[in-house]
Amino acid sequence: MQKIMVCLKRVVDYNVRVRVQPDGSGMALDGVKMAINPFDEIALEEALRIKERGEATEIVAVSLGTHECRQQLRTGLAMGADRAILVETETALEPLGAARILKALVDRETPDLVLLGKQAIDDDNNQTGQMLAALWDRPQATFASEVVLGDGVATVTREVDAGLEVIEVDLPAVITTDLRLNEPRYVKLPDIMKAKKKTLDIVPSQELASGTERQFTILKTESPPARQTGVIVSDVAELVRTLTDKGLL
């Protein structure tokens, strides 16, 4: 296999407890710590392991968004990606728009494998990989917890509601990652220095694709209804009594 394309989305770090703007206009994101989407880090780690096994020769990291996404691409390069592409857009993309841009990039780069996260933890959409696979008319293997490459095929174990499912797909294909696929490596300081010399191309999104405008209008953003404060019981007897009183036992 020659080339793997990996998608890295810039999102709010998963440790941050984000809040809704008091006026309902969106999330309060000023000064909040940003990071690579955790599932995308896992996607990149998988690509690196495939390359280290000698089963791929080049890894291209891709991010779609504002100029600031260069930060996440630099981290990806430090982790070990060979080069990076930022497709610059100012408006926040919906998954279909992102997939259309990625399809255009796939036509240009002709990768054998595209690895994405199963979902971005900001909008929790879980759509982009599946949409890319549809537009590209290629297989999709979503929610992967194991990927084994063979001759022109990938055997993928998927985490599904009923347990695990194994499917085989012809390459090129789209694979989206679940959390148990691997544990991403930490970036070492010398690698950050080395990564500065790697190529990071910037392409305006209009140059690649049309039909990326939003289809859904956001009317408002609210906090979910809060749960009522509960009681603290002192021992098992009181716990059982409280549950019985509520008619739950």
Ligand X SMILES: Nc1ncnc2c1ncn2[C@@H]1O[C@H](COP(=O)(O)O)[C@@H](O)[C@H]1O
Ligand Y SMILES: Cc1cc2nc3c(=O)[nH]c(=O)nc-3n(C[C@H](O)[C@H](O)[C@H](O)COP(=O)(O)OP(=O)(O)OC[C@H]3O[C@@H](n4cnc5c(N)ncnc54)[C@H](O)[C@@H]3O)c2cc1C
Contact status: 40 vs ligand X (CB under 6 A): yes
> CB 14 → ligand Y: shortest distance, Å?
4
Q: Which residue is nearest to ligand X (CB)?
A: 117
Q: If we measure between CA atoms, which residue out of 72, 17, 14 comes closest to residue 44?
A: 72
Among 2, 14, 25, 125, binds ligand Y (CB under 6 A): 14
Among 3, 4, 9, 157, binds ligand X (CB under 6 A): 9
Helix (H) or strand (E) holding 114: strand 113-117
Among 125, 199, 206, 210, binds other proteins (CB under 8 A): 125
Contact status: 38 vs ligand Y (CB under 6 A): yes
Among 12, 34, 92, 121, binds ligand Y (CB under 6 A): 121
Max CA pair span of the chain: 68
- Comparing CB distances to other proteins, the nearer of 31 and 224 is 224
Contact status: 90 vs other proteins (CB under 8 A): no
Contact status: 37 vs ligand X (CB under 6 A): yes
Distance CA 178, CA 193 (A): 30
DSSP state of 214: -
> CB 45 → other proteins: shortest distance, Å?
15
Q: If we measure between CA atoms, which residue out of 117, 90, 120 comes closest to residue 178?
A: 117
Describe the crossing of helices 70-79 and 38-52 by its angle, rounded to 10 degrees: 30
Among 50, 51, 85, 119, binds ligand X (CB under 6 A): 119
Return the amino acid letter for 242. T
Among 76, 80, 95, 172, binds ligand X (CB under 6 A): 95
Please report, for residues 60, 77, 195, 197, the alpha-carbon distance to residue 191 in angstroms, rounded to integers and kept in the order given. Answer: 17, 8, 6, 10
Residue 75: both structure tokens together: 């981290």
Among 55, 66, 88, 145, binds other proteins (CB under 8 A): 145
* Residues 133 and 140: beta-carbon distance below 8 Å: yes
Q: If we measure between CA atoms, which residue out of 184, 192, 158 comes closest to residue 173?
A: 158
The residues binding ligand X (CB under 6 A) are 7-9, 37, 39-40, 63-65, 93, 95, 98, 116-117, 119-120, 123, 125-129
The residues binding ligand Y (CB under 6 A) are 14, 38, 121, 179
